[in-house]
Structure 1
Amino acid sequence: MTDSQLLLSLAAAVPAALLSAVLTWAIRPLMMRVALARPNARSSHRVPTPQGAGIAVIAATLISAAAVIALAGTARTAMPFAVFGATLFIAGVGFADDIKSIPVVPRLSLQALAVAAVILAAPEASRIAPACPLWIERGLLLLVGLWFVNLVNFMDGLDLMTVAEIVPITGAIILLGTVIDFPAAATIAATALFGAMLGFAPFNRPVAKIFLGDVGSLPIGLLAGWFLLQLAWHQHLTAALLLPLYYLADATVTLLRRIARREPFWEGHRSHFYQRATENGFSVFRVVSEVFALNLVLAALAIGSAMTSSTAISILLFVIGGIATALLMHRFSRRRVAAG
């Protein structure tokens, strides 16, 4: 990325933050009427709270990214139309689900269409494992992408949780975009999403005034997955795994545990580690703060892995990240002992 492209990329954060904040404030009264999330046995909130702020976050992200890309005016900064289109499409699916629940099979099918559009739009030269047949690799990426989109949605169950996840991920992408071979369009989009999440954060801090809703968590998962996929396609697989490691570990371990117990794993629940933490005496702010701190560590490890040419060092950094993640999950699963 050239210096001018870097400045344009960084410029996307401020308008995205301002637009996200203004739109969130503006649509909240409407969401109170059409997309009110009422507390139930699986909820972490105790009072009816509007959802749908994802409309503001995604609008701010795409408008700011498109404006900066248009100003850059080069083919190198062009963001694939498929990514824009798929993000809008999956946001629409999420909003429909926020208003009236969509059955699981058509919901997953529509999500898969969005993920497939992003993956299939990539050139054939974009590979993680060149020795693997292309159709097998793309098929596996479709399954992984569908899981990632949904796990971001599953993990968006606590005030500021998605902010604590996406801000470090996009922050790391911005930094990596300046030091490694990485698509300028992805860096610009990550910068816009970074700003949009910061603009949304004041409305979502405990006790939240509004939630993202599926209209936010699903397209955020799709965009974040695209950023991480770009890292993997540029042979930085360790960094791509380290950045979302807490979300991956919490959601995947929880899913496997529910399957082993023969529970209806496709239904809502409160058995994620971060949810169990609030039942074990951790405040919402404490849980989110500790997840955010872990994600900063994971971001630093990811940047280190992308900067090194040593496979051994990359493996060591991943092991460190894995241990740190496992320790936090173990901590969340145990009842907190009050001081004094």
Structure 2
Amino acid sequence: MALVPFAVPIVAALAAALLCVALRPLLQRYALARPNARSSHKVPTPQGGGIAVLAGAFLAVALALRLSPLEGEAGRSLLVVAGGACALALVGAWDDIRPLPAGLRLVLQAACVGFVLIRAAPELRLFPEALPLAVERALALLAGVWFVNLVNFMDGLDWITVAGIVPLAAALALAGMAGVVDPATGWLAAGLCGGLLGFAPFNRPVAKLFLGDVGSLPIGLLSAYLLYRLAGTGAFAAALILPLYHVADATITLFRRLARGEKVWQAHRSHFYQQATGNGFSVRAVVGRVAALNVVLAALAGLAIAWTSLWAQAGCLALAVLLTGLLLRAFATPRASHG
């Protein structure tokens, strides 16, 4: 059915919004996020909106599969990814209610990522001629676990996960419609995009509802899987460009904290987007700039796919790195110094 790709994000958004309304009183009672050293909020706020995002996304994809069944292993792969994401959501919910030891949390995350990697994409290779299968799988597992955590680390400001993941998911949904990635990947991306859009009104500054780890962890897994699928088509540069702001902010911050000898698993406020709110940027100014950059990154990723020349792809990646670096520098600089 030709209308399925357009219907998926709409259904996901409506379902997620309705679930946010229905769940919020329960979350207000049992799942309050209280301010800590990492928080940008000042009053206890219900968390768990990620439940609505995931449910909306998976409901929309399930309806799409019902209306237009996919051939081969595509449908089974979607079930595996949904299962891995739901298992990771349970880990996140547990951590939201009663924080887990860092080591146990990491092991459970690795188990969920590994399950999806082996069961949903067993045939996918990025560098078959350069790396042995075991080495590539180990690197993919490491990258997947890091992506799960960096999305969680970056979910510390109202709307920032929406600003970071919606453009990425929308770009991948369009890639599915264009035939760059398979339809199953495109539908999953469209569902994730719609689910986050349905959640967005409840998370706008000042937020009435947070994703919680129950949402940020599986959203990180779904995003990593979608990017892995994109990279598997040969569009490796595009897969690097799309999440570049989130990856750069989280990774640079991690290495800075390691260099200072800090305990990197403890709450903090040293991400660039967090520095920005202390340097005179409003929350809306921060997320607006992040969203605008991510739209530009999505456009550059599209150009990197369209232009098959390695030099053109390298140019798109270099420009993406430059623009991301400029925004990080702006966030780290007090507004008064801009004049």
Task: State the TM-score, normalizing by the size of structure 1.
Answer: 0.96
Matches within 5 A, 1:106-255: 106-122=104-120, 124-131=122-129, 132-255=131-254
Residues in 2 aligned to 1:153 and 1:261: alpha-carbon distance in whole angstroms: 22
2:39 is matched with which residue? 43
Identity rate of aligned residues, in percent? 50
Q: Report if aligned partners of 2:159, 2:203 keep a CA contact under 8 Å in 1.
A: yes
Q: Report if aligned partners of 1:10, 1:188 keep a CA contact under 8 Å in 2.
A: no
Residues in 2 aligned to 1:271 and 1:79: alpha-carbon distance in whole angstroms: 41
Q: Report if aligned partners of 1:145, 1:222 keep a CA contact under 8 Å in 2.
A: yes
Question: What are the superposed Cα offsets for residues 105-157 of structure 1, whole Å, 9 maximum, x if unpaired?
Answer: 11111111110011111455411001211111011100000000000000000
2:65 is matched with which residue? 69
Gaps of 5+ in 1: none
Q: Report if aligned partners of 1:69, 1:79 keep a CA contact under 8 Å in 2.
A: no
2:102 is matched with which residue? 104
1:82 to 80, 83, 86: 80
Q: Tell me by how many angstroms 1:79 deviates.
A: 4.9
1:34 to 25, 30, 36: 30
1:265 is matched with which residue? 264
Residues in 1 aligned to 2:273 and 2:95: alpha-carbon distance in whole angstroms: 24
Q: CA RMSD in A?
A: 1.3
1:52 to 30, 48, 55: 48
- SS for the counterpart of 2:187 is helix
Code of the residue aligned with 1:117 in structure 2: it is F
Residues in 2 aligned to 1:277 and 1:74: alpha-carbon distance in whole angstroms: 45
Residues in 1 aligned to 2:313 and 2:98: alpha-carbon distance in whole angstroms: 45
1:318 is matched with which residue? 317
2:301 is matched with which residue? 302
- SS for the counterpart of 1:337 is helix
Residues in 2 aligned to 1:150 and 1:124: alpha-carbon distance in whole angstroms: 23
Residues in 1 aligned to 2:178 and 2:47: alpha-carbon distance in whole angstroms: 38
Residues in 2 aligned to 1:250 and 1:339: alpha-carbon distance in whole angstroms: 21
Q: Tell me by how many angstroms 1:179 deviates.
A: 2.4
Residues in 2 aligned to 1:276 and 1:195: alpha-carbon distance in whole angstroms: 30
